[in-house]
Amino acid sequence: MSFKLTDQQHLMLELIAERPVPAIPEIERYIAPLEATKLITLMDEAEWRITRLGKAMLERLQHRLH
Q: What are phi and psi of 40, to 5 degrees?
A: -135, 165
Query: Structurally, what CATH architecture does the domain formed by 7-65 represent?
Result: Orthogonal Bundle (1.10)
Return the pLDDT at 66: 44
Q: Nearest-CA neighbor of 42 among 14, 27, 18, 21? A: 21
* DSSP string of 2-53, one letter each residue: -----HHHHHHHHHHHHS-EE--GGGHHHHHHHHHTTSEEEETTTEEEE-HH
Domain boundaries, the chain: 7-65
pLDDT tens per residue, the chain (66 residues)?
566 888 898 899 999 999 999 999 999 988 999 999 999 999 998 999 999 999 998 987 666 554
Q: What is the pTM of this model?
A: 0.84
Return the pLDDT at 59: 86
